[in-house]
Structure 1
Amino acid sequence: MPEYCTFQPDFLNADCVKIRDDRTTCIYVPQLDASISQGIFIDVAPLDDVADDRGFPELMPMQHELLIIMHNPKLLPDYLRARGQSALPMDMLLELVRTDPAEVRKIFYDFSLEHSGKSTQVANLYSYINWGGKRERSWYEETVYLPFEGFMFPAPKGYDAMLRAQYGDDYMTPVKRESDVEHMLFDTERPYTEYVLGGPRYDEEFYKKEGLI
């Protein structure tokens, strides 16, 4: 990866990894320390194996419990009350809560990798419910190249089925609505360090107006 890029695995407990260009600006938390990159980014969302109709077991509740412990163990009691029971043994959960989050992350990765490539269906475990659920593994097994703004970009061969599952059959019809990016501050020519707290272009009034602080 180029030296001007930052690999950001856990920005504000996001449901994906971000790869940021530190030469640019995409500010939506202006009061964060400049050591935390807020350059323009691409999201890399992991897809893990999930239960299918061919016998792959339902592992997601166990993975969700590990994710909660990784990010915010205080949420675990409410999660367990909502489920009615724990997927992992209770003594194991208590031990994991006392474990360093970095070690829990490693346990989660090892567990997911151990069961990777064995199901016909996959999903992003972080946002499984909000983003439409399961996907067919076959949609991602081959790559095609699609034109965009004069360039050719790689895409999953099953992109049409994937987009229909994600956004509906009318996914090609633009929808005019407010989005998450409308209140971000973008600059492709200057680094984010100029715009965060302490930077020469930090503008508190602008950020307040845009609802960023």
Structure 2
Amino acid sequence: MLPIQIDLPKNFLEEEIRCGYKISSEMKKVWAVEMDMLYQLDQICRKYNIHYFASGGTMLGAVRHKGFIPWDDDIDIMMFREEYDKLCKVAPKELKYPYFFQTEYTDKGSLRGHAQIRNCKTTGILMSEKDKKYQFNQGIFVDIFPLDAIVNDEELFHRQFKRAMKYKKLAFQIAKLTTRYNSYTLQSKKKIFIFLLHYIIKLDFLHLFSSEKYYKKFEDECKRYNYMNTEMVSTLSLQFDNRQHFKYRSDYQEPIYMDFEFMQIPVSSQYDHALRVRYGEYMKFEKGTSYHGGALFDTEKPYSEYM
């Protein structure tokens, strides 16, 4: 039985063919878990008047398929940083088990650069992290990205980028010795030394070696120019200098609700322009992959059993 609270339409979990692509029953179960978390997010956002938009492939799926792109496996949501900060304050207390609101401040070592809602009774481990045995929550997830301002000055932007990457690197380096450390293999004296160092730092000096300190500095750099009403915005904390993610602020002012499977979700009223900027002739089908390169999904076994 799926660990979800929403009611699914009859036959939703059955295998089907869409656009010539077979969607398995197992993937339908993953979709159902993600749709359930999207519903939980929507309820919170309605309660606190937090505005959000479907992002990336989720927006494309709503416009072109009225649901998931057949070969997609995740849901992406974005909101302006002010709304995101508001969500980060209220979501941890609003979401109850098995739901979990994950940021670096609620689950140290995750270091995503954005928030995720996780279902603790499931597994959604990124393939790039499958063998790491990280201890932070790795249930099936919905991504929530903050939008930050892009300063219209290449030199200022480059300086901001360098500072942000410096702090991000420091956060990861410290986390590797503390909260993000994994000990799945110990095959050398060096690894044994790191193993011992990890526990010394974690037990006795964690207050001095905190990745959270530098993660916050990284976030502050992403937010540096948010006081400006810039023409462009982006999910800087995901990929700072990836211009494919740059978006026109004017495209994300007013939402309209569109069908997405058996729900409705907010999409930019300027979706045509937004999607053409991102994908070009977006109504033409071109089979792709998820941004994160795939994940190990299990809707019946919690991630802790894979640890």
Calculate the TM-score normalised by the size of structure 1.
Answer: 0.63
2:127 is the alignment partner of 1:24: no
Q: Is the 8 A contact 1:66 1:104 kept in 2?
A: no
- Equivalent residues in 2 for 1:83-94 (5 A)? none
Tell me which amino acid in the other structure corresponds to 2:286. V
What is the CA-CA distance between 1:146 and the residue it aligns to?
0.7
- Equivalent residues in 2 for 1:35-114 (5 A)? 35-52=135-152, 59-72=156-169, 101-113=211-223
Which of structures 1 and 2 has the larger relative contact order (alpha carbons within 8 angstroms, sep 6+)? Answer: 1
Tell me which amino acid in the other structure corresponds to 1:49. A
Structure-2 separation of matches of 1:179 and 1:114: 30
Q: Is the 8 A contact 1:25 1:192 kept in 2?
A: yes
Q: Is the 8 A contact 1:122 1:137 kept in 2?
A: yes
Deviations 1:63-97 (A, max 9, x none): 21222112225xxxxxxxxxxxxxxxxxxxxxxxx
Aligned to 1:18, what secondary structure does the other structure show? strand
Deviations 1:150-204 (A, max 9, x none): 21111222222222212222x233323455677532122332122x23xxxxxxx
2:231 is the alignment partner of 1:120: yes
Match of 2:261 in 1: 149
Structure-1 separation of matches of 2:242 and 2:223: 23
Tell me which amino acid in the other structure corresponds to 2:136. I
RMSD: 3.2
Q: Which runs of 5+ in 2 are unaligned?
A: 1-90, 171-208
Deviations 1:37-82 (A, max 9, x none): 1111122222211134xxx786322321222112225xxxxxxxxx
Deviations 1:72-131 (A, max 9, x none): 25xxxxxxxxxxxxxxxxxxxxxxxxx965334334444554531521221222425445
What is the CA-CA distance between 1:13 and the residue it aligns to?
5.5
- Equivalent residues in 2 for 1:134-173 (5 A)? 134-169=246-281, 171-173=282-284
Structure-1 separation of matches of 2:133 and 2:114: 21
Deviates more, 1:107-116 or 1:22-31: 107-116
Tell me which amino acid in the other structure corresponds to 1:26. G
Q: Is the 8 A contact 2:165 2:218 kept in 1?
A: no
Aligned length, in residue pairs: 167
Cα 1:65–1:49 change in 2 (3 A) is same
Cα 1:49–1:186 change in 2 (3 A) is same
Calculate the TM-score normalised by the size of structure 2.
Answer: 0.46
Identity percentage over the alignment?
A: 29
Cα 1:16–1:111 change in 2 (3 A) is closer
Aligned to 1:45, what secondary structure does the other structure show? strand
Match of 1:209 in 2: none
Match of 1:5 in 2: 100
Q: Is the 8 A contact 1:17 1:44 kept in 2?
A: yes
Aligned to 1:65, what secondary structure does the other structure show? helix
Q: Is the 8 A contact 1:120 1:137 kept in 2?
A: yes
Cα 1:116–1:183 change in 2 (3 A) is closer
Tell me which amino acid in the other structure corresponds to 2:226. S
Q: Is the 8 A contact 1:143 1:155 kept in 2?
A: yes
Q: Which runs of 5+ in 1 are unaligned?
A: 74-98, 198-213
